[in-house]
Amino acid sequence: MSILNNPPQDPRQEAANAPDVHPLIAARLEKMAELGSEVPLYPYAYRRTHTSDELKEQEEALAAAAAVVCFPGRIMAKRGTGKTLFIPVQDEWGSVQAYFRKDDLGEERFRRIQKLIDIGDWIGVEGTLFRTRTGELTIKVSDFTFLAKAIRPLPEKYHDLSLENKSRRRYLDLAMNQESRERFKRRSAILRAIRDYFDERDFLEVETPVLQPLYGGATARPFTTHHNALDMTLYLRIADELYLKRLIVGGLERVYEIAKDFRNEGMDRTHNPEFTMLECYAAYWDYHDMMELTEGLVRNLAVRFGQEGRLKYGDHELDFNAPFRRITFMGALAEAVGRDLMAMTTAEVAELAKAKGVELKPGMGRDKILDELFSMLIEPDLIQPTFVMDHPRELSPLAKAHREHEGLVERFELFVAGFELANSFSELNDPREQRRRFMDQKALLEAGDDEAQRLDEDFLQAMEHGMPPTGGMGMGVDRLVMLLVDTVNIRDVLLFPHMRPEDAPGSGA
RNA sequence: GGGCCGCUAGCUCAUCAGGUAGAGCAUCUCCCUUUUAAGGAGAGGGUGGCUGGUUCGAGUCCAGCGCGGCCUACCA
């Protein structure tokens, strides 16, 4: 790759000087040399008159007027006979074929074009529109320009890239697969729709720190980094909750953030170390208000991106039109096991869990065991959108105690297709109670639960200044997108999913 | 983390039971003035993921490591 670091004037000499240049690249450097320095291969700009979509839409008028169009894109194939050349030129939206003809371009020029342009090159073609006898929309080329010469070949066109290369070299996946481009454009449209939804409801979009001196707002292990000038440890945020609530304290009454969060944990087809989380908070709201907001958001997206509010997801047909089902955490558990778990002691709950196959770990409190039971017995069956309400207290140190039921908090989770899509509570706003909850977490931490939440003194101070009643909600955006594009793999909705380095130390490469 | 499968040309994949490798696309040369997975004739291209072992001989068998995929357990 030394050839790219310090390009000499003559590509031919360059290839000769670097004997380890791959022959396929050397061949292209040779062509660049033959094109000569008077042909600019990397010009500064190009005036496009039409995209491929626009050419298709406006074909009739453009053809009738014999208008000369300027169309830029990437060469995806070369076909032709000895005196003609057909080249599909692809832009972001699709592809239009360019037709080079010896009679139009002259013997010498045609020959150079035929020989020296490559699949993968970016070019701009100028000419008039017509249909070939097989009916394909085509630009009859009167002139053309190099926009960028490629020196590395594109992958082959018949077979899909391997799954690994699709993720690892997304630029090739995007270049070769229209569906892939469409999928990521849809993600962008979903994000825009989310912002529209909140903006229409007078929520303010804000940005809070990624680098935090103390991590909080969720139960997870963080990534750690170091600030040199301050000589201090900083953490990449695992959530933005505690900062958004500080804004509520400050008097910003409705805020939301679409935040990249980072969690230092395992990765699989539903977990990437960095992921996108939507969080929103509204003063004077409780979790019932948040449930309405959440249901509205999800239905809105399903209507917009599905078929009449229904989504095909794998084998499931998900229906977001009817009011979402609502069940309570303890009620669903009681129904599943045939007993009221509220009345049971910790030891009894542990015994029951063990009998159901839950793996008990030291330091697991009663509520943690209940949570495990719930994940195992209930969650997989929550296919149609379902709100699970009123969780045990210990699992939710930032949620307000339930106004009617002792030992529970006002919280809901939204499940769809068996996974958790959103999490919300009536936010705890009593500073003394919040401090006690943090102390409980500290006890858990000392008992061996390394995911227990840390006490955030500054956050408590903020709350001591007075935080109004507040409803909050968090939603995993990547999972939401997965639902809306019908994929089970988070990599399909992340442009650059985390991958181990190909040439990891120890591979001997 | 555990189990199973994979890693061979730039790309996608073959090579049934150990005898130093093939195809298609891409590349190069030649023919072909509406082709479209264009076609025809020819050519080049490989430290078979890495390290070690068994064997007269290893892409092939064994071990370790790396990377990937599927299943499984957990954090969104």
Label each residue of A427-484 as H, E or C: ECCCHHHHHHHHHHHHHHHHCCCCCCCCCCHHHHHHHHCCCCCEEEEEEEHHHHHHHH
- The single residue listed with the structure tokens 């697991």 is A364
Residue range A174-201: mean pLDDT, rounded: 97
Q: For residue A363, is pLDDT > 70?
A: no
Kindly indicate the confidence band of residue A17, based on its pLDDT and cuts at 50, 70 and 90.
low
The answer to whether residues A192 and A238 belong to one domain is: yes
Q: For residue A507, is pLDDT > 50?
A: no
Average pLDDT over all residues of chain A: 91
Q: Is A184 a member of any domain?
A: yes
Q: For residue A353, is pLDDT > 90?
A: no
User: What pLDDT does A435 receive?
Assistant: 95
Q: For residue A7, is pLDDT > 60?
A: no
Q: How is residue A76 written in tokens?
A: 């995806």
Q: For residue A306, is pLDDT > 60?
A: yes
Q: Is A131 a member of any domain?
A: yes
The answer to whether residues A109 and A204 belong to one domain is: no
pLDDT tens by residue, A80-114: 999 999 999 999 999 999 999 999 999 999 999 99
User: What pLDDT does A266 receive?
Assistant: 82
The answer to whether residues A145 and A279 belong to one domain is: no
Residues 6+ positions from A294 with CB-CB distance below 8 Å: A414, A422, A424, A473, A475
Residue range A106-131: mean pLDDT, rounded: 95
Q: For residue A3, is pLDDT > 80?
A: no
The answer to whether residues A206 and A320 belong to one domain is: yes
Lowest mean pLDDT among A131-145, A196-210, A373-387: A373-387
For residues A88 and A232, give the distance between their C-alpha atoms in angstroms, rounded to a whole number: 56
Closest CA to A142 of A55, A43, A69, A90: A69
The answer to whether residues A124 and A269 belong to one domain is: no
Q: Is the CB of A509 under 7 A from strand B?
A: yes
Residue range A351-367: mean pLDDT, rounded: 78
Higher pLDDT: A405 or A15? It is A405
Q: For residue A394, is pLDDT > 60?
A: yes
CA angle centred on A109, ends A108 and A115, rounded to 5°: 90
Residue range A44-52: mean pLDDT, rounded: 98
Q: Which of A119, A154, A189 marks a domain boundary?
A: A154
User: Which residue is nearest to the C1' sugar atom of B49, using CA?
Assistant: A507
Residue range A59-66: mean pLDDT, rounded: 96
Question: How far in angstroms lies nucleotide B12's C1' from the CA of residue A221?
Answer: 40
- Residues of chain A (277-306) having a beta carbon less than 7 angstroms from strand B: none
User: What pLDDT does A31 receive?
Assistant: 94
Lowest mean pLDDT among A56-60, A106-110, A282-286: A106-110
Q: Which of the nucleotides lies closest to A358 (Cα–C1')? A: B73
Q: Is the CB of A453 under 7 A from strand B?
A: no
Task: Give me the interface pTM, i.e. the ipTM.
Answer: 0.92
Closest CA to A194 of A242, A256, A287: A256
User: What pLDDT does A16 receive?
Assistant: 63
The answer to whether residues A224 and A320 belong to one domain is: yes
Q: Is the CB of A115 under 7 A from strand B?
A: yes
Q: Is the CB of A326 under 7 A from strand B?
A: no
The CATH number of whichever domain residue A454 belongs to comes to: 3.30.930.10
The answer to whether residues A185 and A65 belong to one domain is: no
Q: Is A388 a member of any domain?
A: yes
Residue range A233-252: mean pLDDT, rounded: 96
The CATH number of whichever domain residue A86 belongs to comes to: 2.40.50.140
- The single residue listed with the structure tokens 């790219």 is A4
pLDDT tens by residue, A443-479: 877 777 777 788 999 999 999 999 999 999 999 999 9
Nucleotides of strand B lying closer than 7 angstroms to a protein CB: 1, 10-13, 24-29, 31-38, 44-45, 49-51, 64-76
- Residues of chain A (91-110) having a beta carbon less than 7 angstroms from strand B: 97, 99, 101-103
Q: Which of the nucleotides lies closest to A155 (Cα–C1')? A: B11
Full domain range(s) for residue A5: 1-38
- Percent of chain A whose pLDDT exceeds 90: 74
User: What pLDDT does A365 receive?
Assistant: 77
For residues A49 and A27, give the distance between their C-alpha atoms in angstroms, rounded to a whole number: 33
Q: Count of domains in chain A?
A: 3
Q: Is the CB of A402 under 7 A from strand B?
A: no
Q: Which of the nucleotides lies closest to A80 (Cα–C1')? A: B35
Q: Is A440 a member of any domain?
A: yes
User: What pLDDT does A355 receive?
Assistant: 80
Q: Which of the nucleotides lies closest to A134 (Cα–C1')? A: B34
Higher pLDDT: A381 or A43? It is A43
Q: Is A103 a member of any domain?
A: yes
User: What pLDDT does A339 receive?
Assistant: 86
User: What pLDDT does A15 receive?
Assistant: 63
Q: Is A375 a member of any domain?
A: no
Residue range A204-222: mean pLDDT, rounded: 93
What secondary structure does DSSP assign to A196-238, as a single string?
Answer: HHHHHTTPEE----SEESS--SSSSPPPEEEETTTTEEEEE-S
Higher pLDDT: A220 or A257? It is A257
Q: Which of the nucleotides lies closest to A275 (Cα–C1')? A: B76
The answer to whether residues A436 and A480 belong to one domain is: yes
Residues 6+ positions from A65 with CB-CB distance below 8 Å: none
Q: Is A160 a member of any domain?
A: no
Q: Is A159 a member of any domain?
A: no
The answer to whether residues A213 and A292 belong to one domain is: yes
The answer to whether residues A389 and A259 belong to one domain is: yes
Task: Catalogue the long-range contacts made by A207-213 (C-beta closer than 8 Å, 24 or more residues apart).
Answer: A207/A257, A208/A237, A208/A240, A208/A243, A208/A244, A208/A247, A208/A257, A208/A259, A209/A237, A209/A243, A210/A236, A210/A237, A210/A259, A210/A260, A210/A262, A211/A235, A211/A236, A211/A237, A212/A236, A212/A237
User: What pLDDT does A79 receive?
Assistant: 96
Residue range A366-384: mean pLDDT, rounded: 88
Q: For residue A321, is pLDDT > 80?
A: yes
The answer to whether residues A414 and A442 belong to one domain is: yes
The answer to whether residues A138 and A226 belong to one domain is: no
